[in-house]
Amino acid sequence: MTSNELKAKQMIDQAKKIAIFWHMSPDGDCIGSLLGLWKLLEKQKKKVTYVVPNKPSRIFDFVKWIKRLKSNFDYKHYDLLIFVDFTGIGRTWIIGMANPWYFKDKPLVVFDHHMGDGKEEGILIKDVKSISTCEILFEYTIRWRPALYDKDIATYFYLGISSDSGNFLFEEDHIRTFSNVLKLLKLWADKDIVVNNLIRKRSLNAVKFLNLLLNRIEEKWELLYTYYDEDEMKEYKIDQEEAAYGLHIIQNIDGPQAVLLLRKIGDMIRGSLRAKKLEGKQAGKTIDCNKVAQQLWWGGHKLAAGFSVPVKGKFEDQIKEIVRNINKTIETQ
């Protein structure tokens, strides 16, 4: 065991009251990490509180115990805080909480696979080479507490690996991911429930919204992009996670090296950038989304990253400016 692992395990073993936090717009990896960890800790007779900044999308309604997640933090005493699937930069939502000072100098363990900014606090169990936080959690906890594993826990971690890998499309270390998944399936992870509910099922409104996004597609040099305003989501009665379906579809369009989905949310514009993984001689030329996003405030991974900029002027004009800036950044890579 590395010293960080040893420390994290000790802190978790000794703590009786634990609060687990996840990031904005919880995705499958986030939900799987949190619920998997929660069940492992409950089985060790620990009192666990889990905190979500905003409600998970209804596409996750099929997940067992999802309704137990609470979004109000009580700011009481906890022996240990755990962050899953986010570190320094992702803590911006914590700053927006009622008492941000609460988090200062608290015993903290972080499980994450995002690139950091070097300013992270706490004991970091971080592996940017891993496809998902659920994978990291599984690799550690199956060594620490194999006897506690059950079908639910295996399904939670399977959910995270499946959703962050785009159902095994984006993983880089195939042997690592597939051997972990094989172990989870042997522990009775329910693959069918994840495939049927998360990978295949779409609401009719989500498909109609996709049609809107497809009609707006533009192509500028290395970038294919489309956009929406959050108010339009309301018209279609869908949530952000359902709207993101468009991104999964447009990233398969042949041609440009990167795709971008822009959305206007209140006074911010959020962008999701995805690069195509190039093959053969071109392999070295794959766009580094993390570098692009960092220049626009945020980051993520090499092939997928997000950014956020304040709204200024007309949405359509700002879109053109953002696209120009991204293309300029790509050019200098």
Q: Which stretch binds Mn ion (CB under 5 A): 2-10, 21-29, 150-158, 283-291?
A: 21-29
**Least Å distance between CB 139 and Mn ion?**
14
**Least Å distance between CB 31 and Mn ion?**
10
Total binding residues toward Mn ion, as defined by CB under 5 A = 5
Site for Mn ion in 192-211 (CB under 5 A): none
**Least Å distance between CB 132 and Mn ion?**
5
State the DSSP string of 44-89: TT-EEEEE-SSPPPGGGTTSTTGGG-B--------SEEEEES--TG
Residue 259 phi/psi, 5-degree rounding, is -125, 155
Contact between 26 and 32 under an 8 Å Cβ cutoff? The reply is no
Q: How far, in Å, CA of 128 to CA of 300, rounded? A: 10
User: Residue 34 or residue 142: which is nearer to Mn ion going by CB?
Assistant: 34
Based on the shown chain and the rule CB under 5 A, indicate whether residue 135 belongs to the binding site for Mn ion. Answer: no
**Least Å distance between CB 163 and Mn ion?**
8
Site for Mn ion in 287-306 (CB under 5 A): none
Contact between 154 and 145 under an 8 Å Cβ cutoff? The reply is no
String marking each residue 221-260 x if it binds Mn ion according to CB under 5 A: ----------------------------------------
Based on the shown chain and the rule CB under 5 A, indicate whether residue 29 belongs to the binding site for Mn ion. Answer: yes
Based on the shown chain and the rule CB under 5 A, indicate whether residue 164 belongs to the binding site for Mn ion. Answer: yes
The two three-digit tokens of residue 83, written as one number: 């962050």
Contact between 108 and 82 under an 8 Å Cβ cutoff? The reply is yes
User: Residue 164 or residue 190: which is nearer to Mn ion going by CB?
Assistant: 164
Based on the shown chain and the rule CB under 5 A, indicate whether residue 171 belongs to the binding site for Mn ion. Answer: no
Q: Which stretch binds Mn ion (CB under 5 A): 26-34, 47-55, 88-96, 321-329?
A: 26-34
Contact between 191 and 185 under an 8 Å Cβ cutoff? The reply is yes
User: Residue 133 or residue 272: which is nearer to Mn ion going by CB?
Assistant: 133
Q: How far, in Å, CA of 333 to CA of 330, rounded? A: 5
Q: How far, in Å, CA of 50 to CA of 149, rounded? A: 20
Edge-to-edge strand ranges of the sheet holding 223-229? 218-220, 223-229, 258-265, 268-275, 304-310, 298-300
Contact between 110 and 125 under an 8 Å Cβ cutoff? The reply is yes
**Least Å distance between CB 24 and Mn ion?**
13
Based on the shown chain and the rule CB under 5 A, indicate whether residue 85 belongs to the binding site for Mn ion. Answer: yes
User: Residue 50 or residue 225: which is nearer to Mn ion going by CB?
Assistant: 50
Q: Which stretch binds Mn ion (CB under 5 A): 37-45, 51-59, 98-106, 157-165?
A: 157-165
Q: Which stretch binds Mn ion (CB under 5 A): 125-133, 180-188, 223-231, 286-294?
A: 125-133
User: Residue 164 or residue 242: which is nearer to Mn ion going by CB?
Assistant: 164
Nearest to 33 by CA among 60, 73, 58: 60
Q: Which stretch binds Mn ion (CB under 5 A): 3-11, 35-43, 62-70, 79-87?
A: 79-87
| Conformational region of residue 122, where left means phi above 0, alpha means psi within -120 to 50, and beta covers everything else | left
Q: Which stretch binds Mn ion (CB under 5 A): 82-90, 208-216, 219-227, 270-278?
A: 82-90
Contact between 103 and 94 under an 8 Å Cβ cutoff? The reply is yes
**Least Å distance between CB 74 and Mn ion?**
26
Q: Which stretch binds Mn ion (CB under 5 A): 25-33, 166-174, 194-202, 301-309?
A: 25-33
Contact between 274 and 247 under an 8 Å Cβ cutoff? The reply is yes
Residues whose CB falls within 8 Å of the CB of residue 299, separated by 6 or more in sequence, listed in order: 89, 114, 115, 117, 290, 293, 305, 306, 307
Interface residues with Mn ion (CB under 5 A) are 29, 85, 132-133, 164
